[in-house]
């Protein structure tokens, strides 16, 4: 039964990767990466059950944490052109801080 | 296998199957929808329904053990960060001037500072 779930997750990952390649705008790609991360979390969980190794779920939890931070970091970079402290940025283009 | 264990087994299979179904539905939506904003909606389908059903199905398989606690933690965390990251992506897209295809100019959605 977990094999069916693993196969479905694999198909979903391939579709999301196609969207990642095609995505016209940057935000399509960020969305695809975020969705791929969530699918990876589920895939690791399912694999943990398939191979009978419950410690995979720690990896899945860690991946969920990192995936969220990665998405927000990418967005912040493209919004402020810098990941670091944004307060020192000169107020160019009237973009609010 | 006693009756209740059999019932739990079947219930977890049903949950896992429907969860993987919603994951695929969400992914097909991400691939086929015409516009970023529509894809945003499709992505949240697999994020919410797919995740919850799959994690519940796995929790039933594992029974009341440490595994279920970990699955619950993953569920809680994805429950919190899913909408947050979707909001972050949508906000970034809106601020950068991306507009839904059908609506030429949404009233009230114009960002205060007209970025270039």
pLDDT tens digits for range B69-107: 999 999 999 999 999 999 999 998 888 888 777 656 555
Residue B17 and residue B49 in contact, taking contact as beta carbons nearer than 8 Å? no
Confidence at residue A87, expressed as pLDDT on a 0 to 100 scale: 63
Interface residue of A6, A10, A12 to substitute, partner B, most B CBs within 10 Å: A12
> pLDDT tens for residues A32-78?
999 999 999 999 999 999 998 888 999 999 999 999 999 999 998 88
Residue A90, Cβ density class (10 Å: 0-12 exposed, 13-18 middle, ≥19 buried): exposed
| Residue B66 with chain A: CB contacts under 8 Å | 54
CB contact under 8 A, A34 and B89: yes
Residue length of chain A: 97
Q: What is the ipTM of this complex?
A: 0.82
């Amino acid at each position: 039964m977990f094999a069916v779930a693993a196969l479905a997750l694999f198909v979903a990952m391939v579709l999301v990767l196609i969207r990642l390649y095609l995505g016209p705008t940057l935000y399509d790609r960020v969305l695809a990466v975020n969705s791929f991360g969530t699918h990876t979390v589920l895939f690791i969980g399912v694999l943990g059950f398939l191979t009978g190794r419950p410690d995979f779920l720690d990896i899945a939890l860690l991946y969920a944490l990192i995936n969220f931070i990665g998405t927000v970091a990418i967005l912040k970079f493209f919004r402020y052109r810098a990941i670091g402290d944004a307060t020192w940025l000169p107020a160019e283009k009237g973009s609010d801080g | 296998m006693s009756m209740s264990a059999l019932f739990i087994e079947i219930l977890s299979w049903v949950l896992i199957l429907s969860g993987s179904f919603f994951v695929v539905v969400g992914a097909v939506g991400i691939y086929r929808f015409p516009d970023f904003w529509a894809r945003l909606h499709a992505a949240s389908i697999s994020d919410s329904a797919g995740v919850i059903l799959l994690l519940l199905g796995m929790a039933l398989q594992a029974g009341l053990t440490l595994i279920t606690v970990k699955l619950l933690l993953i569920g809680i965390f994805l429950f919190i960060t899913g909408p947050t990251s979707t909001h972050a992506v949508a906000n970034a897209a809106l601020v950068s001037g991306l507009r839904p295809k059908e609506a030429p100019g949404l009233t009230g959605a114009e960002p205060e500072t007209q970025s270039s």
